[in-house]
Each structure stands twice: as C-alpha cells, then as structure tokens.
Amino acid sequence: MNTELITASFIIGILAASIRLATPLLMAALGEIFTERAGILNLGVEGIMLMGALSGFLGAFWTSNLWIGVAVGMLTGALFGLLMGFMSITAKTNQVVAGLGITIFGSGLSTLLFRLTFGLRTTPPSLDIFPTLRIPLLSQIPGIGPVLFEHNILVYLTLILVPVSSFFLYRTRLGLAIRAVGESPDAVDTRGLNVSLVRYLSVMIGGALAGLGGSYLVLGSLGLFWTQMTAGRGFIAIAIVVFSKWDPARALLGALVFGLASALQISLQTLSVPIASELLLMLPYIITIVVLVSVSRRAEFPSAFAVPYYRGGEK
C-alpha cells in the first residue's frame, strides 16, 4: 500500500467524491420520506430509479439538452409513483409485493427499452454530463472549497432540496396534510381533506425524486446507461430513510455515510491495497445492513404505515 498517496488532496478528493456519490441516494431518500410520511411504503424505488436513469438518458440523448433529460426522468418517476399509488391506494394491495413488482417491472422495462432503441453495440451510446460549476470565491477556500463548492448543478440543487423538504414538511399546510394522512387518516378525512389525493401526491413526489436520482447517475455522473446500473441504490435509499427517522436533515447525514463508504471503497481500490476488489465492493451493502439493524429496533414508523385507508362503510 502506497502511504505517500494519503495526502491532504487525497482526503479532499474522497470527501468531494462522498458528496457526489451521496447525491443520488439523497434524492431518492428525500422522495421516499414524502411517500412514507404519507403512510405508504414504496419498495419500488430501485425500479423507478432505473426507469429514471433510462428516460433521463433517452431525453437528453435525443434532444441534446440535459435539462430535458432531467425533466423526463422526473416525469417518468412520477408516473411510476402514480402506478405505485394505484396499487397501494386504489387497489389496496400488499405494498411490499407491489413495490417488488414495480422494481422487477422497472428494471426489465428499462433494459428492454434500451436494447430495443440501441440494439447491441460494441461502444455504448454516451453523452456529456453536467459540467462542474465552481462557485466563485467559495471554491477558493482551502480544504472546504474543493469539497463543497466544486460540483455540478444537480449536486447543489439536491443539497438545497434538504432544507426545502424540511420546510415543506413541517411548515406548510400540504406538508402537515402529508404527515397527518400517515399518522391518522381518519382525522384528516373528518376535516374534509381527501386522504387518497394527498397520498397520491406524496407517492408521486417520491417517484419523481427517485426518477431524478436515477437520471443523476446518467446525467450528472456517468454519461452512460447500462442494465441494473443502480446496483441496489434504491434499497440503500430506503434504509437511509429508516435511519433518518423520516427527517430530511438526518437523511442528508445518512446519505453522506453511504457516500463516504462508496468513496473509500473506490479509493482503496485505486491505492491497490491488498484486499480483493470484490470484497471492497461489498462494503456499502454491509454498511447498509449494519446501519439498518442499529436503528430499526427503536424506529417509530408512521402510525398508518403501509395500511390502506378505507373510509367508513367501505370494504
């Protein structure tokens, strides 16, 4: 192991990479917070991220406009959220299995559409990603500057999304309504609010953000699409939500932990430490289990979590 490589710039590199790697997880986790706060468990995040990645790729590839890619990715995510909403709110099916179905459907459909569009090629189609946006002055600060202020626009927007989500959840009427339908849907119903509508809205917000997370992988990070490219990030995002206690600020913390784990794993490989790369690749998944276990025992899920709402007399 080459210890000379561990310098200040190396550590700065790892921290900056942690933020970049945390971004797609954070997007999906924020979305799932909205969904779960409204009382719906959407385990389809993985499939929705894959669909977001594919549609983001296609949108940007065909229009040569990255922002259209982002919009298409979010729209596709919202539509898949709508599908999850139909399964859980209207059809009142088992949400775990519905989520699995959506994950299997989304991962199959994204692969199929990609193959039908581009066929098998020796060089996969690629596109230029969002450029790095150095924030003037701030990026000059030694240490902090390159870690925090040398990213692409999607990273900054996601970081801003954290306080925005908190404000929305805790300080707006709609946020209150979302939290209320997850805790006590009958009370919301008696106040004359439409429980189903609020839940549909929440699960669609969740889908749109998962779709954004998927399209970030393509448009903000890799410039390519491949089968199963999310590699479990959808499930990791759900674990982050449990860790976050359904709070956006804590989700940021959770996402950074996983970002750091992934960044460490990658840099240990480049340092050629005497550990097989396959074992290093396990690290994020092992950490997910450890974190999930450490928080789950005392986790207080929303009271009406994963319970369909029947109005009086229905059923």
Partner 1 sequence: MTAISEQIRHIKWRAIWRQVYPAALSLILALVIGGLLLLVSGRDPIAAYQSLLSGAFGSSNRFTETLVKMTPFLILAISVSISFRCGIWNIGAEGQLILGAVASTWVALSFSFLPPLIILPLTMIAGIIGGALWSGIAGVLKAYFNANEVITTSMLNFIAVYLLAFLVNGPLKDPEGFNFPQSALIDSSFELPRLLEGSRLNIAFIVALILVVAAIMYWRSTVGFRTEIVGASRRVARHIGLNVNWTIVLVTLISGGLAGLAGWGEIFGLHFRLIEAIAIGMGSLAVVVALLGELHPIGMVVSAFLFAALVVGGNAMERSAGVPFALVDVIQGVIILLILARSYIFRARAS
Binding site for partner 1 (CB under 8 A): 43, 47, 83, 86-87, 90-94, 96-109, 111-113, 115-117, 227, 231-232, 235-236, 238-239, 242, 276, 278-279, 281-282, 285-286, 288-289, 292-293, 296-297, 299
Shortest gap between Cβ of 265 and partner 1 (angstroms)?
11
Which one, 11 or 96, has the nearer CB to partner 1?
A: 96
**Token output for 142:** 């030694």
Q: Among residues 151 and 199, whose Cβ is nearest to partner 1?
A: 199
Closer residue to partner 1, CB minimum distance, 43 or 178: 43
Residue of 114, 116, 111 lying closest to 125 (CA atoms): 114
Q: At 152, phi and psi to the nearest 5?
A: -85, 170
| Cβ proximity to partner 1, 171 vs 298, nearer residue | 298
Neighbours of 136 (CB within 10 A): 8
Shortest CB 147 distance to partner 1, Å: 28
Q: Which of 233, 200, 229 is nearest to 24 (CA)?
A: 233
Minimum distance from CB of 211 to partner 1 (Å)?
A: 17
The nearer residue to partner 1, 9 or 296, going by C-beta atoms, is 296
In the complex, the smallest distance separating the C-beta of residue 104 from partner 1, rounded to whole angstroms, is: 4
Decide: 42 and 95 in contact? Cβ < 8 Å. Answer: yes
Report in angstroms how near the CB of residue 80 gets to partner 1 at its nearest: 11
Using alpha carbons, list the distances in angstroms from residue 101 to 70, 117, 127, 305. Answer: 25, 24, 30, 19
- CA separation for the pair 103, 89 (Å, rounded): 18
Nearer Cβ to partner 1, position 119 or 136?
A: 119
Question: Among residues 75, 52, 14, 11, which one has the least CA distance to residue 237?
Answer: 52
Distance in Å, CB of 286 to partner 1, minimum: 6
Task: Give CA–CA dist 289/198, Å, rounded.
Answer: 32
Amino acid code (one letter) for 165: S
HSE (CB half, 13 Å, CA atoms) of 236?
28
